[in-house]
Structures are given as structure tokens and as C-alpha cells.
Structure 1
Amino acid sequence: MNKKLNYIVFLSLMILAAFSHSYSWDTCNGHAQKWMNNWTTMDLSTKSFPVGSYYEQRAQWMMAEWNAVAGSAMTFYVGRDTDGEHMMGNWDNELYWDNLGESTLGRTYKYNECYWLFGNHWGKSEVDLAMNSNSSLNWSDAGFRSVVLHELGHALGLMHTDSLAVMNDSSDEAVSFADTPRAVSYHNWITPLADDRAGLRFLYGNDGISRNVAVSRFYVNDSGDKLQSFPSRTSLRAGDSFALNYTVENHGTEHEDYVLVYFYLSSDSYITTSDHYIGAAAWVMPSGSSAQARIEIILPAGLAEGDYYVGFIADPHDNITEDREFDNQISLNRTINVW
């Protein structure tokens, strides 16, 4: 089942653009397949992930990212699988390494109840997550976190989506933090994105309140491909124009009537409001929405010659009281040269 919402707004300095969110979930006769008590224990294999080891810590961090989504009642608890055996039908959720061949990064095995016995019965009973240990893969820190977060989303009941989301199916095992579309902000924080958060709240929503906007250097094109944004031109003079795609997301539970986005040029990759202002846009953003658009920018007069990073900041004046302020600014991974 898919849920699609579309909103259209007019943007300053931009053409008419649309933003949307689309998430999907597992079903049984129209009922969402989820953990009915809003919690489950995920046993980490101590053979695959010894306690305190590098990958064991990162698996726990990704469980914590799902747990931290405000407006969701769902909680992962950490357990240990110490027998070294992994199988469906033992009613334990397990996370472990397994050789899945060369084409698969991770795989989720699930057992859901879906039957009628004096009434309908549905819900999750067991989920096992296998991470590919095949020697052909070169796991990076960012790649491992990205794929574990994705597989944990399946464990929660979320299915693949074509939006910019953790649950968008992708190959990330060898990417850097700056090159994964499952990260936001200058700090390249790998976390559930707006669409993922909307889906989780649909399945496990509670009355938690959060306000948070975030930015990404990735966007999804009309074909559903996840692309990294770069300046359309990299060698310019004052008065020349260039374009860039950008994404701003509402990760919070609250409707935001006015999310301002400022664009800047900077001599370094860390964008601040003290850098060279070059343009603006404004959005009305429902909870869980992601706004993706393209802006045309004209270089102002008086810029010194040299190389500049292009970046943007959401809520530059701190008008929104946010849970996390560090995910509001980002720079693109390619500079422009002004001459």
C-alpha cells in the first residue's frame, strides 16, 4: 500500500515547485503489519558482532536513530544472540553477517501473522536481518550504517519507496559519509529522513512533539533516481548565473508555515550566515514533508576572484525552536571558480 500527498507552493526566486512524501508498509488484509506492543528486541549475534566491537556499536547507533524519531512509540531493545546459529522460526529477531553473494548488501527475513481464527489476526512475529559478509564488498562506515538503518526499517514494517528516503532501495556499501543520500547536513548525519519518519508515525504514532528542519545535497529526479546536486556551471564571472537543486525537509511532528532557506558562497565548506548571501526561497512544510526544487542564482558584483563552496541554510534566523540545530546547513561537494 502507498500513501502519497502532494502540495504545491509558490517560491520566491524560483519556479512553481511541488513537494511530497510517499511511504509504504507491509499489510495483512488491509491491516498494517507491525509490532503490536510498539517494541521488540533485536538480538545482535555475538559471533558476528562481539560486544563493544566496531560494527556492533554502529548497529546499536542505527537502532537508536529509529528510536529517537519523535511522534513514534516504537522502541528497539538490544539483545544478544550467543549461540552463533541464525534461523527463522526460533521467534528471536537476529542481526548477523552472512554471505549473500555479490549483488545483495543486506536482506530481511520476516514472519508475519496473517490468518483468521474466530477473527482476523495480524502482526509481526519474527524478523532476521542479514548483512552481507561476501569478500567482494568493501564496507565503509557510512555504507554499513546506511544499509543497517534501511534493513531495520524493514524490521519495523516499512517497505521500499521511490522518494528520497532511507527506505529507497540503493547500493551504499562503499560510499563516504558525504556521498550517501541517507545523510543530512554538513555533518553527514545518517538518520531516518522525512518520508521515513512520516511512515514510522503512521505505524506507531503517539502524541510526541518535535520541531526540526534539515537539509540534503541529494534529490530525486523524475525517473526516481537519487542524484547528488552540483552547480550547473563551475567557472563564472560576476553577473553570470548558475543553477542548483536542493532539498529541505521537515523532520518534526509540527506543520511549519514558513521555512526560509538562504543560499551562500563560502571560502570553506562550512556554511554560515556570515558568508556571501546569494539568494533565498521559502516553503510551507507539513510534518514529514520533503521539498525538492531547483533555483537559479546570479552572481553578485564585487566578489573576489577565487574558488567558492555553494551551500544553503534552512531557518537561518533561528525562527523555529528546533530539537536539533546542527542539521540545518550544508555545502555542495563541488566548488565554483569566480574570475
Structure 2
Amino acid sequence: MSAQANHRATSPLGRRSLTSGRLPKWAPAATAVAAIAIGCAIGAGAGLSSHIQWGVIAALLFVAGSYALAARVEGPRQAKDRLATSLVWVCFILAVIPLVSLTVYTIQKGAGVINGTFLSHSMNGVISSEAGGGIYHAIVGTLEQVGLATLIAAPIGLLTAVYLVEYGRGKLARAVTFFVDVMTGVPSIVAGLFVLSFWIMILDFSFSGFAGSMALAILMMPVVVRSTEEMLKLVPNELREASYALGVPKWKTIVRIVIPTAIGGITTGIMLAVARITGETAPVLLLCFTTDVINTNPFQDPQESLPLYIWHQYSLGNDQTYARAWGAALVLIAIVMGLNLIARGIARWRSPKAGH
């Protein structure tokens, strides 16, 4: 009986399973190459001038070819999985191409103007049609405005999230959640108009970098609340219950247990919120104005920022100002990319390690 069982297990019928008849690992790549070649041939033969149309044809051929090939070799069940996978890859490529194109184009247009002078000088005394000048005053303004906005929004957002997760019950918590959701979708120009009417027109304060920081803080706050709230919800309740069982008060449990456990995700959310407000132009244009000189005091007089500098230089409309605008855009992209890399590094550093 044992020999018969072994014979059945090793027979072709015994080896058959749901995964039989698999395509080789190189089949998707070969299908993609064939789809690109056929799509280019169709586009060229049909006289289509746009390479975007060639790409759309190649994407459709890749999806259809992957499904047809899998249906013939692996069966209809696996073919549906291949269809979903190919659609995901096509959507991923469609999302990446504009981002890569934007980055490459910005580098091509702005890298030539970036040098030590450009990064260490302002536009004071520089005629717009002349070469020279720099973005030092805009970098100082951006760092100060974003820093002040973070000092305002991060503590308020963190405490609001702690209230919603640890204490929030009833109508007040639902109202706070509702307003946080509403603030998430508020256009930046609305935040700028609110600060303009309240801080400058009603309270009669002057235009300054701090006024722009308050508008940026309004935009940043709901992002911090939402991200922090989700991170606090991920903290296991067992940690809280163990702390309560030892007689630790709730407030000390939050300070010593809950927040340190979620600090990696909280920091990441704050950094991403900072990256989100760094490129805002409308509230800064309303509240900070624009200036060519270095102003290190954000509480008095107009103050430049990188987004405002880009808008101002590009609006002047000559080759020199275009070059400076693209150079500032490249620096701004580098700053935002650096903030995102810092956020990822902090998240990886503070994430729970296996075996700990």
C-alpha cells in the first residue's frame, strides 16, 4: 500500500495543482517590451505625433496581452490576477512619469543658475533684467515662517489628537472631529484671508512673516491632528491597561507610555505636514508681501519666501528672471525632498524592531 501511495504522489496526476502551467518569471517583462515595440510601431505607422498616444497604445496592449497570455497558459483564474497586476503597474507608471519628468525638467532649467553666489546673496540692488542676485533672503524667510508655523501647529495638533483618542467622548469630540475634517479641505487662500481680516485689518498689526506663519499653521494643524490621531490609535491598549494596573495616573501613562510608543509616527506626520506647507504661495503673498532685501525679523516688515520668490521672478518675464525662478524651484524641491527623507529616516529609526 505504501508503494502505491508513493506512485500516486509522484505521478503526473498527483503533481497537478492550481499553480500548474505557470508562465516564466520573465514573461511580464517580455510582454511589456513587445507591447512598447508594437505601440511605437502603431503610433509611427498611424502618424500620431504625440508620444503620449504611443504610450497609451502600449499600455493597453500590455494589459490585454498579459491577460490573453495568462488565460491561455495559466487559466482564467490566474489571468484575472495578471490583469489586476498589470493594471496596477500601468497606474504606477502613469503616476511616476509626471513626477520624474517634472524633476528632470526642473533640474535642466534650474541647475545652471545655482552656485555659491545664488545661495548666499539677495536681490537687493539687482536689476531684474541683469544676471546675478540670489535667494538667500527667500531661504531665510521660508525657514523662519515654516519654523514658526510648526511651533504653533505641532503642539496644538498633538494635544488635540491626544484629547480625541484618550479623552474625547460625546458631542464635543464629534464637533472637534468634524471641524478638523473641514479644515483639512480649506483652500490656502481662505486661511490667508482669515488672518488678513483678523490680524491685520481688525487688530491692526502690520504685514510680516509671522502673519504668514499663522496662516500656514492653520493649514498644517489638521494634518498634524489626523496623522497623530492615527498613530495614537495604533498603540496597543494592553500597554495602557498594564500601566493603569500599576497605579500610574492616566496623564502620566499618556506622557510616559503612549506618546513615546507612537513618537516615530507622530514625528513623521509633523514632518510631512511641514513639507506640505513649505510650498504654499497664496497666504504668503497676502500676508508677507515681497521684498528684495534680507529681513531676519519675521515679526516686522515684509519678508520673502521661496514660493513667493518663484512667483515674483517668473512674473517679471525675461530670461534672467526665468532662470532664477527655476533655480529657486529646484532648491525648494530639494528642501521638500530632504524633509521627506528625514521623516522616513525617523520613522524607520523609531519603528518597533523584531525581537524587541
> Normalization by structure 1: what TM-score?
0.23
Q: Hey, which of these two has a bigger chunk of strand by percent?
A: 1
**What's the TM-score, normalizing by structure 2?**
0.22
Would you tell me which structure has more helix in proportion to its own residues? Answer: 2
Which of the pair has more CA radius of gyration?
2
